Amino acid sequence: MQAYDMDDEPTTYAANSAEEAIALYVRDSGEQVEDGYPCELTDAALDAERAEYDEDERPTGKMTTIRRWLEAATEPGYLCGAMR
């Protein structure tokens, strides 16, 4: 799977293709994807360190990357970021 930013929030989805990412985003948000999206994340974006949060959305004090989340994803769908 690849990671795709779906909007400028950004809302990131894991999917096997851009078309699959669009279908999942539309299903979840009820909105169409804006021009210029989806945008497949670059290696730099995948490997950028970001704060890690627990299941209750509280900071853990640790750092992680989108690549780690993508590798842990077992199926296509919402990966991280903002949901409308």
Over the stretch 24-73, which tens digit does the pLDDT of each residue have?
999 999 999 999 999 999 999 999 999 988 888 899 999 999 999 999 99
83 — pLDDT class (breaks 50, 70, 90): low
- Which is more confidently placed, 82 or 43? 43
1, 64 in Cβ contact below 8 A?
no
pLDDT score for 74 = 96
Q: For the chain, what is the radius of gyration of the CA atoms?
A: 12
CA separation, residue 11 to residues 25, 37, 61, 84 (Å): 9, 11, 22, 9
Task: Give me the mean pLDDT over the 16-25 stretch.
Answer: 98
84 — pLDDT class (breaks 50, 70, 90): very low
Q: Determine the longest span between alpha carbons in the chain, in angstroms.
A: 36
